[in-house]
Structure 1
Amino acid sequence: MTASILSSMFFFSHAFPPFTSRAPSRKPLAKAILVPMPENAAREISLVNHLTCVACRSDAGSAYLFNELIRMIFLAYYVGGAGFGDTDAMVYARAERELERVLRRAEHSRA
């Protein structure tokens, strides 16, 4: 049985927790975290995401690649929720349905 992977992300709440001030016990963030991502790192992430999609579309996916797809969708959802982009929530709901369909198909083929 497949549990709904992303349902809590889409259907329970679209509200994001309020940002709070930094806790006094937390170490300051490193400069590398605060500056924009280097262009070559962004290209590499983009290439990995693209190749993951291509492999999964051609039925050459693996559990690792499937997890990468889930990670990619979560990242897109949270980046969009932070105000970067205007993707409709239905796009993420459709992605969730497709991921669940693929999981069911994978479980059926194992049996």
Structure 2
Amino acid sequence: MDMSRKSSHTSRKPGRKPLTRDMLLPLPVAKVRAMSLEHHLALAAMHSGRGSVEQMNVLLKVTYLTYFMADAAHESVDLDLFRAAETAFECCGLRGHRDGNWTLPTADHDVLARILALHDRQLGSMPSWRYTEAWARIHAFLRSDAQSPLPAPACA
């Protein structure tokens, strides 16, 4: 028996399961369309003044999913865009809790529409394991005491 060859099991990182064929492919088209529809309907509801905390939570999750997926793929992201989204969510949440007005002004809508467009492109092209990994990062963030998963802005 030739012992000079490494077993395929020894070349993998310990504790990491091999990726399946389905994990290497993008999410199924029907699932991507359904998720995209949910995201865009939430944005439309918020912009039209018919939003709620549930729609805001959908948009908040998709914003962080988009950031985590781009970060894991080492894609350059416009952090200012994501910070603007966080500011929009903060203002919307304050209005919503204060007077039940869960709306997004046009400028905030436009910021989130750009993030949704990026997320739609990600879902159509990235392997599904990136999506699963991004969800794991969201859950880790939610368990933490951090106010935001975004890196702190650099001081000038």
Q: Is 1:107 the equivalent of 2:85?
A: no
Which position in structure 2 is the counterpart of 1:23?
15
Indicate the percent of aligned positions where both proteins have the same amino acid: 28
Q: Is 1:56 the equivalent of 2:43?
A: no
Which position in structure 1 is the counterpart of 2:86?
96
- Which moves more between the two structures, 50-59 or 84-93? 84-93
Which position in structure 2 is the counterpart of 1:3?
none
Higher relative contact order (CA 8 A, sep 6+): 1
Q: CA deviation at 1:85?
A: 4.3
Segments of structure 2 that go 5 or more residues without pairing to the other structure are: 1-12, 101-156
Count of residue pairs brought into register by the alignment: 88
Q: Distance in 1 between matches of 2:19 and 2:48?
A: 41
Query: What is the aligned counterpart of 1:36 among 13, 26, 41?
Result: 26
Structure 1: which 4+ aligned runs deviate by more than 2 Å?
27-36, 83-87
Segments of structure 1 that go 5 or more residues without pairing to the other structure are: 1-20
Structure 1 residue identity aligned to 2:28:
P
After superposition, the CA RMSD in angstroms is 2.1
* TM-score, normalised with respect to structure 2: 0.49
- Report SS of the residue matched to 1:80: helix
Higher Cα Rg: structure 1 or 2?
2
Structure 2 residue identity aligned to 1:78:
F
* TM-score, normalised with respect to structure 1: 0.67
Which position in structure 2 is the counterpart of 1:11?
none
Q: CA deviation at 1:82?
A: 1.5
